[in-house]
Amino acid sequence: MSLDFKDKQGGKRYGALRKKQEDELDEVNRDFLDGDTYKDVEDLEEKLNEYKEKFMEYDLDNSGDIDIMELKQMMEKLGQAKTHLELKKMIAEIDTTNSGTIHYPEFLNMMLGKKSSILKIILMFEEKNKEKAKPTGLPPKKSLSDLP
């Protein structure tokens, strides 16, 4: 088995691939902004940018879709490990093209749409957990007047 490294370069090539993917996702975001389907969604542009970042974080091979292995890694990273069958069901809930993967427009329809899917619930739960910042440093000094 010989390894072909022509298409497996890092550095500049990876950066170019990542930039190309980001440009393609930005174009999909523009289509969503220009369309009428989600015009009533508050802060739509901000949400689309947030979802783009999240999608790119989990699209590990920069293919433009999330396959079952990337979904598995996403769930494990979120502390929600799933079986192969559960992952297939999650993809089937979202996959409107029957490709067996989650394309970016399908991901956006899931996140912005009214219908709840397991993946949407998990991602929304993760986002709510992030928002709570724990206090850091020393606790404030208390005096007798602070007692109930």
User: What are the tens digits of pLDDT across the range 88-143?
Assistant: 999 999 999 999 999 999 999 988 888 777 788 888 777 766 655 667 778 778 78
pLDDT at residue number 7: 53
Average pLDDT, the chain: 83
List the end-to-end C-alpha distance of the chain, in Å, as a whole number. Answer: 74
The domains of the chain, with CATH numbers, are 15-125 (1.10.238.10)
- Answer yes or no: is pLDDT of 78 > 60: yes
Distance (Å, rounded) from C-alpha 30 to C-alpha 48? 9
pLDDT at residue number 17: 82
pLDDT band at 9 (very low <50, low <70, confident <90, very high): low
- Which pTM value belongs to this model? 0.72
Cβ contact 93:118 at 8 Å: yes
pLDDT at residue number 139: 76
